[in-house]
Structure 1
């Protein structure tokens, strides 16, 4: 059985959409999925990038597109009352609930839906308190062990070549974004789908960088 590492941050609507779509996208295939919450801002800083919500026109486009994608795919979604927000409390809560080395799908689902359903403020103190009580973390979300787990996951993502969320790492390949789910399926399925993906994977080979800014 193949193993997939899913790197995500609850701040990302595309990560939410991909998470909700995964069971359908990979239906009928045998795989093991490990969910690894990471700090998206840490990835952006490492690569010298701005987040989508830090560019005004791109921010507006993002909310339009994810709302359309959600409706098209039958996924419930309501943009939070304020976005972007600081996701650290949610990321640490997920790691505080980790069992066997990573948070399970129930924990990740509960936090994602806290953010992306209902249209409320994701970081409102009262809501965070209720969410924490619901998940009943085994560790203190503000403790050093949890903080280190989040840092380690983010460093692991960077070491694997991850540059954005959601990213799925399988067989040493990084599949980025909601729209990469069919490619992830092809990698898992093999056969003719896998062969077509192998051919596409070599597309960057031999392409020189024409100009740098």
Structure 2
């Protein structure tokens, strides 16, 4: 049985799409998935990047593309009333329902659908209160232990070389993005390409030029 770690932030529509599509991608395989929420902004800060929604033309394209991808794959998705938003309350609430920096699929699904179905404001105080009541976390979302777990998840992701979400890690290999799910399936099916050396050679290409900052 393969062990897969799914690194996610509820702010990402691609993470939502990958979450919804994953059972179909893995159908027929023996596997276990750990869902680990992290703050996507921590990865952006570490790598000195802007988020897709912080670049206006890219923001517009992102929303158009995710709506198309949802349509093409039969996944229900409505854009939230405002995006980006502060995901910290959702991340901490989810982690307060789990343990050791992990959450179960039910919690992940409930929070993802709070954001990406219905077109409402993901950060609305009344909706957040209702979500917390429905999930009934065993721990205090504002507690130090939950906050420490969220930081630790980001630190772990950075140490693994993650730069975005969704990111799925199996056997030390990173598969990034919704569009990497077919590649992940091929690896889990034992496709010979993964043993032919191209995976390793891709990380050995020399840098020809560096853009000045």
Q: Distance in 2 between matches of 1:167 and 1:33?
A: 12
**Aligned with 2:169: secondary structure?**
strand
TM-score normalised per structure 2? 0.96
Root-mean-square deviation (Å)? 1.1
Structure 1 unpaired stretches of 5+: none
Deviation string 1:69-91 (CA, Å, 9 cap, x unpaired) is 00000000000000000000000
Would the aligned equivalents of 1:183 and 1:197 in 2 still touch at CA under 8 Å?
no
Deviation, structure 1 residue 99: 4.3
TM-score, normalised via structure 1 length: 0.96
| Structure 2 unaligned regions, length at least 5 | none
Q: Return the alpha-carbon distance in structure 2 between the equivalents of residues 206 and 174 of structure 1.
A: 16
* Number of residue pairs the alignment of both structures matches: 210
Deviation at 1:197, TM superposition (A): 3.0
* Structure 1 residue ranges (4+ consecutive) displaced by more than 2 angstroms after TM superposition: 197-200
Is the partner of 1:36 in helix, strand or coil?
Answer: strand
CA offset digits 1:135-191 (Å, max 9, x no partner): 00000000101000101111111111111000001111110000000111122221x
Structure 1: how far apart are the matches of 2:206 and 2:100?
A: 44
Deviation, structure 1 residue 102: 1.5
Contact (CA 8 Å) 1:3, 1:33: kept in 2 or not? yes
Equivalent residue runs for 1:1-213 within 5 Å? 1-99=1-99, 102-190=102-190, 193=191, 195-199=192-196, 200-213=198-211
